[in-house]
């Protein structure tokens, strides 16, 4: 019985210190910079470029941006990393998903450029498929 209580105590202590360290990390790297919305304002502004887009979740370490066809999630991950995930439904391509990981101080301009490149590539794929479909209809 003693060993079970000791193991539970050690696991509880490790969880407590892990959460405490994570909260201190978020405070020093995000909260002290005005929070997620202020620290990543350029990226958020870019992702909210479409009129139907809105912020559907905002917390100390996450922002979720939703439009009619896509959901972007920006997560600060303890240890100084930023993870951006995209889940979208595109005509002709169906469901797509993508994750990008960066250091939390990585240039937002470069992040935006990489997202734009990914979306441009997908639009080119849609254009190719549409062209092939129209060629088949004509034939």
- In the chain, the number of structural domains is 1
Q: Report the distance separating Cα 127 and Cα 60, nearest Å.
A: 39
Q: What angle do CA 55, 60, 65 make, to 5 degrees?
A: 20
Q: In which domain, by residue range, is 33 found? A: 2-138
How does residue 33 score in pLDDT terms, banded at 50, 70 and 90? low
pLDDT of residue 126: 80
Q: Which two tokens stand for residue 4?
A: 């079970």
pLDDT of residue 65: 94
Q: What is the pLDDT of residues 80-127, one digit of tens each?
A: 788 999 998 877 677 889 999 999 889 999 999 999 999 899 888 888
Q: What is the pLDDT of residues 49-65, one digit of tens each?
A: 888 899 998 887 889 99
Residues 6+ apart with CB under 8 A from 76: 26, 29, 30, 36, 61, 62, 82, 104
């Amino acid at each position: 019985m003693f060993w079970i209580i000791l193991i539970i105590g050690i696991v509880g202590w490790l969880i407590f210190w892990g959460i405490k360290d994570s909260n201190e990390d978020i405070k020093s790297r995000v909260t002290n910079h005005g929070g997620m919305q202020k620290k990543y304002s350029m990226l958020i502004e870019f992702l909210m470029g479409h009129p139907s887009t809105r912020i559907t979740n905002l917390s100390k370490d996450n922002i979720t941006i939703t439009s009619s066809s896509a959901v972007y999630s920006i997560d600060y991950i303890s240890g100084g990393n930023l993870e951006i995930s995209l889940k979208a439904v595109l005509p002709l391509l169906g469901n797509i998903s993508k994750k990008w990981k960066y250091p939390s101080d990585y240039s937002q301009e470069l992040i935006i450029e990489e997202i734009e490149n990914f979306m441009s590539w997908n639009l080119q794929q849609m254009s190719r498929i549409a062209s092939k479909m129209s060629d088949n209809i004509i034939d």
